[in-house]
Amino acid sequence: MKVLFVCNNAYNPGNGLSVSIHNTLRTLREHGVDARLMAVRNPAPDGPQPDFPLGHFKFPVFEPIIYANGFAYAKIERNKISEALRWADIVHVQEAMPLENVVVRMARKMGKPLTGTFHLYPQNVLANLGFPKKNLYSIPVPISSVPRTSSGII
């Protein structure tokens, strides 16, 4: 089985998403699954790189805040996304960001099965907007309905 993992930034040391994705990829590979990664290139040129590398998208004005948090957004490069989706048997998205939204739409058009996890917490965003930290964990986060197909949960 060929599983494509999609996330913006998989090379942020100490970031829970980065740790999670690399542990999952390693474990799947140890069990014989051909698991590959599509993400923004690792800024360390001698470090590991994604199997399907994407360029770095820089947000005007907000890039210093994003960079200060050790994050990077991937460019939405449809030709590279198409190549990765053609390779994959199943697609797993790690976030609910613009890249993943495009990947999900393209994968659905190609009839690819999808899974996903959600690794963004409101306190990550709110802390940078100056909200008091004591209130961050008391903010209710609505859980949206899970998309379903005739064969079950996507």
State the pLDDT confidence band at 143, using cuts at 50, 70 and 90: very low
- Amino acid symbol at 81: I
CATH code for the domain in which residue 47 is found: 3.40.50.2000
Q: Which helix (H) or strand (E) holds 79?
A: helix 78-87
Does residue 69 belong to any structural domain of this protein?
yes
Q: Are 17 and 95 in contact (CB under 8 A)?
A: yes
Q: What percent of the chain has pLDDT over 90?
A: 45
Would the pLDDT of 95 be above 90? no
Does residue 70 belong to any structural domain of this protein?
yes
Between 120 and 15, residue with greater pLDDT: 15
Dist CA 17 CA 95 (whole Å): 9
Q: Are 110 and 78 in contact (CB under 8 A)?
A: no
Strand 56-57 with 73-74, pairing: antiparallel
pLDDT for residue 13: 73
pLDDT for residue 12: 81
Does residue 102 belong to any structural domain of this protein?
yes
Which tens digit of pLDDT belongs to each residue from 1-49? 999 999 988 888 767 788 889 999 999 999 999 999 999 998 888 999 9
Dist CA 74 CA 97 (whole Å): 10
User: What range does the domain containing 67 cover?
Assistant: 2-121
Does residue 150 belong to any structural domain of this protein?
no
Would the pLDDT of 146 be above 50? no
Does residue 104 belong to any structural domain of this protein?
yes
Does residue 112 belong to any structural domain of this protein?
yes
- How far is CA 106 from each of CA 47, 69, 127, 148, rounded to the nearest angstrom? 30, 29, 33, 17
In total, how many domains does the chain have? 1
Would the pLDDT of 153 be above 50? no
Q: What is the pTM of this model?
A: 0.75
Would the pLDDT of 69 be above 70? no
Does residue 14 belong to any structural domain of this protein?
yes
Dist CA 151 CA 100 (whole Å): 22
Does residue 25 belong to any structural domain of this protein?
yes
| Contact residues for 76 (Cβ-Cβ < 8 A; gap 6+) | 54, 57, 98, 99, 102
Q: What share of the chain is helix, strand, coil (3-state, %, to 5)?
A: 35, 20, 45
Between 108 and 95, residue with greater pLDDT: 108
Mean pLDDT of 143-147: 42
The per-residue pLDDT of the chain, averaged, comes to 80
Two tokens at 70?
């050790």
